[in-house]
Amino acid sequence: MKKFSLPDIPESEQTPVVKGLLTLVELLIEENTALKERVEKLEDEVRVLKGQKKRPTFKPSALDKNTQTDEKKKNTKKSHSGKKRGRANVTRPVDRNERVRPDNIPPGSTLHDIRPFHVQELIISSEHICYELERWKTPDGRIISASPPVSGHFGHQLITYVLYQHHHCQVTQPLLLEQLREWGVQISSGQLNRILLDDKDGFHEEKEALLGAALMHSDYITVDDSGARHQGKNGYVTHIGNEWFGWFCSTLSKNRINFLMLLNAGDVQYRISAQAITYMRQNKLPKVPLTQLSLSAAVSFAEQEAWQAYLEALNIKDKRHIRIATEGALVGHLLHKGQMDNLAIISDGAGQFAVFEHGLCWVHTERLIRNLLPLNEAHQREVDTVITQVWDFYRQLRQYKDAPTSEKANRLSAEFDAIFTQKTNYITLNRKLRQILQHKEKLLLVLRHPEVPLHTNGSETDIRDYVKKRKVSGGTRSDEGRRCRDTFASLKKTCRKLEVSFWHYLQDRLTDKMLPPLPEIMQNKMVAGQ
Same domain, 233 and 303: yes
Domain finish residue from 170, 199, 228: 199
If one counts the domains in the chain, the total is: 3
Same domain, 219 and 301: yes
- Which residue type is seen at 172? T
Same domain, 389 and 241: no
Q: Is residue 106 situated within a structural domain?
A: no
Distance from C-alpha of 507 to C-alpha of 501, rounded to nearest angstrom = 10
Q: Is residue 115 situated within a structural domain?
A: no
Q: Is residue 389 situated within a structural domain?
A: yes
Please tell me the predicted confidence (pLDDT) of residue 63. 57
- Which residue type is seen at 414? A
Distance from C-alpha of 466 to C-alpha of 422, rounded to nearest angstrom = 41
User: How far separated are the first and last CA of the chain, in Å rounded?
Assistant: 48
Listed residue (9, 28, 29) closest to 19, CA to CA:
9
Distance from C-alpha of 271 to C-alpha of 422, rounded to nearest angstrom = 45
Please tell me the predicted confidence (pLDDT) of residue 420. 97
Same domain, 270 and 404: no
Same domain, 313 and 207: yes
For residue 40, count other CB atoms closer than 10 A to its CB: 13
Q: Is residue 169 situated within a structural domain?
A: yes
Distance from C-alpha of 203 to C-alpha of 469, rounded to nearest angstrom = 19
212: domain range? 201-354+468-505+520-529
Same domain, 218 and 336: yes
Domain finish residue from 135, 169, 199: 199
Q: Is residue 192 situated within a structural domain?
A: yes
DSSP tag of 373: -
What is the chain's pLDDT, residue by residue, as a tens digit (530 residues)?
Answer: 445 555 666 666 667 766 677 677 777 777 777 787 778 777 776 666 555 555 555 454 555 555 454 444 444 444 444 444 445 455 788 999 999 999 999 999 999 999 999 999 888 889 999 999 999 999 999 999 999 988 889 999 999 999 999 999 999 999 999 999 999 999 999 999 999 999 999 999 999 999 999 998 899 999 999 999 888 888 999 999 999 999 999 999 889 999 999 998 888 999 999 999 999 999 999 999 999 999 876 789 999 999 999 999 999 999 999 999 999 999 999 999 887 888 999 999 999 999 999 999 999 999 999 999 888 899 999 999 999 999 999 999 999 999 999 999 999 999 999 999 999 999 999 999 999 999 999 999 999 999 999 999 999 999 988 888 888 877 888 999 999 999 999 999 999 999 999 999 999 999 988 999 999 999 999 888 75
Same domain, 284 and 433: no
Please tell me the predicted confidence (pLDDT) of residue 152. 87
Please tell me the predicted confidence (pLDDT) of residue 468. 85
Instruction: Enumerate residues 6+ apart whose C-beta is below 8 A from 126.
Output: 180, 183, 184, 185
Please tell me the predicted confidence (pLDDT) of residue 48. 60
Q: Is residue 379 situated within a structural domain?
A: yes
Domain finish residue from 144, 165, 199: 199
Distance from C-alpha of 31 to C-alpha of 493, rounded to nearest angstrom = 42
Same domain, 311 and 290: yes
Q: What is the H or E stretch that residue 223 is in?
A: strand 220-227
Grouping H, G, I as helix, E, B as strand and the rest as coil, residue 228 is: coil
Same domain, 246 and 341: yes
Q: Is residue 71 situated within a structural domain?
A: no
Same domain, 253 and 311: yes
Please tell me the predicted confidence (pLDDT) of residue 296. 77
Same domain, 184 and 237: no
Asked if 440 and 448 count as a contact pair (C-beta separation under 8 A), the reply is no
Same domain, 246 and 177: no
Residue 346 phi, psi (nearest 5):
-110, 125
Distance from C-alpha of 260 to C-alpha of 330, rounded to nearest angstrom = 6
Q: Is residue 8 situated within a structural domain?
A: no
Please tell me the predicted confidence (pLDDT) of residue 106. 93
Please tell me the predicted confidence (pLDDT) of residue 473. 79
